[in-house]
């Protein structure tokens, strides 16, 4: 089958698919917050909308605020800051033919509402919530067009300066039926807290769980789905086309093991019929590791390093179609200021090279997200992988300096009690 015919067949299949699933309008979203001062936070509501049935406006949205400490909890009206930003997972040539632009290919808008608020005091049960109607029709949820409800929790007594995790990955992923899926949220944790990920039930309203069809549940929203509790990496092989609602609870724990907050990422996997076979996981994981050790038991996808270490490593990505162009992205430069990331080559095999310094105070379990995407049309093939960095607390005396004989010198060290 030549490539041109495969392309035309993909177009026909995708158009047929979109005609079947077009209904309601919201496939997901979340609420996040950023601390900028005492009891002061920038609150952000992000909503994704199916372009085929879009009708949301850019008027202010109300986020419900509550607590169990007896403090005043006025609801928050957030002004719109981003309206109808298209985030469809389509190849560049087909973006102009998505539902967002009047075409027949599946399309997704992103809308963002944001404002700065000051809470009246500290409480370990601040809840930010938003609800509405209606979810996109899905394979795994019953009752047709259900409502949606998302909430985010802040423990501002335990962690008064805490900011929530930031999700950087493709928000509403398109994946191919009968092909393995590797998906990661690409989370950046600004406070260095440890994260725990779990599959939970999506909600219709506060305290009301989404009704699932027989054979599905919040902990098993897709047959065979699994999530790594430490990295958030989701894996499964889809066997049915359609939309699947998935809700992931991301909890933050500080160095004492205290829960300091959580967000609910509510989204959908859109499973399509594809002719393209996406990029493969890097064979053998990390290669050419310098300045650190491979993390035992990580199957080549983990690094064990000490504070102050300068490390470099490579990953090699393959694609069964030698004519596909591969593009690699990563959140490493956001996680580690001053780090470098580069790509060598554009057709299989493609090498991604990383270098960074593990600064003191680095999260002891940091997940570095790497995503490889091909240029297949109309839907790009994409896979995400996680490199888990395990940081060992160690003595660190700062960058190397030259000391001259006879000149008084003082050293400030931390992380130990005996030094040579």
Site of tokens 């300091």? 260
pLDDT tens, per residue, the chain with 420 residues: 444 334 444 444 443 333 333 335 899 999 999 999 999 999 999 999 999 888 899 999 999 999 999 999 999 999 999 999 999 989 889 999 999 999 999 899 999 999 999 999 999 999 999 999 889 889 999 876 689 999 999 999 999 999 999 998 888 999 999 999 999 999 999 898 989 999 999 999 998 999 999 999 999 999 999 999 989 999 999 999 999 999 999 999 998 999 999 999 999 999 999 888 888 878 778 999 999 998 887 778 899 999 889 999 999 998 988 889 999 999 999 889 899 999 999 999 999 999 999 988 788 888 899 999 999 988 889 888 889 899 887 655 556 667 777 777 776 666 555 555
Q: For residue 20, what pLDDT is reported?
A: 33
**Helix, strand, coil percentages, rounded to 5, for the chain:** 10, 45, 45
Q: What is the rounded CA–CA span in Å between residue 30 and residue 151?
A: 8
* R_g of the chain, CA atoms, integer Å: 23
Q: For residue 216, what pLDDT is reported?
A: 97
Q: For residue 280, what pLDDT is reported?
A: 80
Q: CB of 177 within 8 A of CB of 273?
A: yes
Q: For residue 285, what pLDDT is reported?
A: 87
Q: What is the rounded CA–CA span in Å between residue 248 and residue 200?
A: 6
Q: What is the rounded CA–CA span in Å between residue 377 and residue 13?
A: 12
The closest of 236, 238, 242, 247 to 210, measured between CA atoms, is: 247
Q: For residue 166, what pLDDT is reported?
A: 92
Structure tokens at 274: 């594809």
At residue 359, the 3 state secondary structure works out as coil
Structure tokens at 17: 């698919």
Q: CB of 271 within 8 A of CB of 322?
A: no
Q: For residue 222, what pLDDT is reported?
A: 98
Rounded to two decimals, the pTM is 0.85
Sheet holding 234-236, edge to edge: 181-183, 234-236, 226-227
Q: For residue 360, what pLDDT is reported?
A: 85
Q: What is the rounded CA–CA span in Å between residue 202 and residue 36?
A: 30
At residue 370, the 3 state secondary structure works out as strand
Site of tokens 């805490």? 162
Distance, CA of 25 to chain centre:
21
- Helix (H), strand (E) at residue 66: strand 61-66
Q: CB of 290 within 8 A of CB of 316?
A: no
């Amino acid at each position: 089958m030549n490539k041109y015919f495969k392309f035309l067949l993909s177009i026909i299949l995708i158009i047929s698919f979109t005609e079947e699933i077009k209904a309601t309008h919201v496939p997901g979203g979340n609420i996040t917050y950023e601390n900028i001062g005492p009891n002061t936070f920038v609150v952000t509501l992000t909503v994704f909308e199916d372009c085929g049935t879009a009708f949301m406006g850019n008027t202010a949205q109300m986020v419900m605020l509550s607590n169990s400490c007896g403090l005043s909890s006025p609801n928050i009206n957030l002004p719109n800051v981003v309206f109808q930003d298209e985030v469809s997972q389509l190849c560049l040539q087909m973006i102009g033919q998505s539902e967002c632009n009047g075409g027949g290919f599946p399309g997704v808008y992103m809308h963002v509402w944001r404002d700065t608020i000051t809470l009246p005091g500290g409480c370990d049960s601040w809840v930010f919530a938003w609800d509405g109607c209606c979810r996109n029709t899905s394979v795994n949820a019953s009752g047709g067009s259900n409502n949606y409800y998302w909430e985010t929790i802040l423990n501002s007594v335990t962690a008064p300066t805490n900011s929530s995790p930031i999700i950087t990955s493709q928000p509403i992923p398109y994946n191919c039926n009968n092909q393995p899926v590797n998906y990661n949220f690409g989370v950046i944790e600004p406070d260095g807290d440890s994260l725990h990920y779990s599959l939970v039930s999506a909600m219709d309203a506060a305290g009301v769980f989404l009704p699932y069809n027989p054979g599905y549940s919040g902990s098993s929203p897709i047959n065979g789905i699994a999530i790594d509790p430490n990295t958030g990496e989701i894996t499964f092989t889809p066997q049915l086309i359609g939309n699947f609602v998935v809700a992931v609870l991301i909890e933050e724990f500080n160095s004492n093991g205290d829960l300091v907050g959580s967000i609910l990422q509510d989204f959908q996997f859109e499973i399509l019929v594809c002719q393209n076979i996406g990029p493969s996981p890097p064979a053998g994981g990390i290669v050419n590791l310098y300045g650190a050790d491979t993390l035992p038991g990580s199957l080549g996808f983990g690094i064990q390093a000490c504070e102050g270490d300068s490390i470099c490593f490579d990953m090699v990505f393959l694609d069964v179609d030698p004519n596909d162009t591969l593009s690699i992205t990563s959140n490493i430069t956001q996680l580690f200021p001053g780090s470098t990331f580069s790509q060598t080559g554009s057709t299989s095999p493609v090498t991604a090279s990383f270098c960074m310094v593990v600064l003191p105070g680095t999260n002891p379990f940091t997940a570095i997200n790497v995503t490889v995407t091909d240029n297949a049309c109309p839907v790009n093939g994409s896979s995400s992988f996680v490199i888990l960095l395990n940081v060992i607390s160690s003595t660190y005396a700062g960058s190397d300096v030259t000391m001259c004989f006879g000149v008084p010198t003082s050293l400030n060290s931390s992380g130990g009690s005996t030094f040579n």
